[in-house]
Amino acid sequence: MIKKLIFLLLGSLAWAHADVIVISLNAAPFNEQDQTGDRLKDSYGNDLDDSFVASLGYFDNNFSPNSENIGDWRNNWVSFTQSLIVDTNPPFAEPRFNLEAEFLSDGTSSDNADAVFSGQSAWLWVYNEQDAFAPGAEWFLGRVESWMFPEPPEPGCTDCPGEFPTQWAVSNFSTETPIWGRQSSYEGGGFNFTSEDFTLQTYVVIPEPGSLFLMLAAFSAASLLLYRRKGAAQ
């Protein structure tokens, strides 16, 4: 009798949570030894830390983000879920993040019940400040073409369609050029101070005068060196 009651209880719990679908996007910590995982860096090539937020969401009102409307991004951003960048046990551990929330049967998120995400293009926005004009603001904004929030599951779904669960990763990036920042060798808008390729790199939104001077000086030095090499070759 007791076994039967336990069985019925477990069955009822499974049914109650059958329509809970999880959508996730993650970045795995980089392993120096076997060179696997994701390298997450800022514009200077430093590891991202917990001053940065990774946010999964979409832009409302048919807003199309670009370098000319950066001041309006935060006003049109709708977050499905977000998390601080995690850097456990520094300086030995590499930064990582795992964005995860329940996609509910009404198309909303367990982290945001005020917006319907079904059918929207999903974006990854990594930032330390959403305000484009804040000193030191750095961003990465990009997406993979296949990243779309699916139609919500049927209530009580026990055999949901193939798009569930929806699991995305930073490693999904291939030849996509981000709107802002850099992924591998594909570069979007913004300013940076390194030439190395990383899995994901935030770029400065509006450089401070001192940083801009250093960047211009480095560019001038590189141009002068290239000019001298061409002169020597002739």
Least confident window among 10-14, 42-46, 94-98, 215-219: 10-14
pLDDT of residue 113: 96
Mean pLDDT of 138-166: 79
How far is residue 17's CA from residue 10's CA, in Å, rounded to a whole number? Answer: 11
CA distance 228 to 221: 11
pLDDT at 34 exceeding the cut of 80? no
- Does the structure show a pLDDT above 50 at 136? yes
Cβ atoms 81, 99 nearer than 8 A: yes
Going by pLDDT thresholds of 50, 70 and 90, the confidence category of residue 166 is confident
**Rounded CA separation 24/60 (Å):** 20
Best mean pLDDT range from 124-128, 153-157, 204-208, 209-213:
124-128
Q: For residues 10-15, give the mean pLDDT.
A: 30
User: Which pairing describes strands 186-187 and 182-184: parallel, antiparallel, or unpaired?
Assistant: antiparallel
pLDDT of residue 16: 34
**What does each C-alpha distance from 141 to 86, 94, 105 come to in angstroms?**
19, 21, 28
Residues 92 and 103: their CA atoms lie apart, in Å, by: 35
Which residues have CB under 8 Å from 191's CB, separation 6+? 43, 203, 204, 207, 211, 212, 215
Distance CA 47, CA 27 (A): 13
Residue 159: the pLDDT is: 60
Q: Model confidence at 20, in pLDDT bands (50, 70, 90)?
A: low
Confidence of residue 89 (pLDDT cuts 50, 70, 90): low
**Max mean pLDDT range (13-22, 172-181, 206-215, 223-232):** 172-181
| Distance linking the first and last C-alpha atoms of the chain | 95
- The yes-or-no verdict on residue 9 having pLDDT over 80 is no
User: What is the pLDDT of the chain when averaged over all its residues?
Assistant: 80
Give the pLDDT of residue 125: 98
Pairing of strands 40-41, 182-184: unpaired
Higher pLDDT, 82 or 224: 82
| 224 pLDDT more than 90 | no
Instruction: Please return the burial class of 130, using the count of CB atoms within 10 Å of its CB with bins 0-12, 13-18 and 19+.
Output: middle
Whole-number percent of the chain with pLDDT over 70: 73
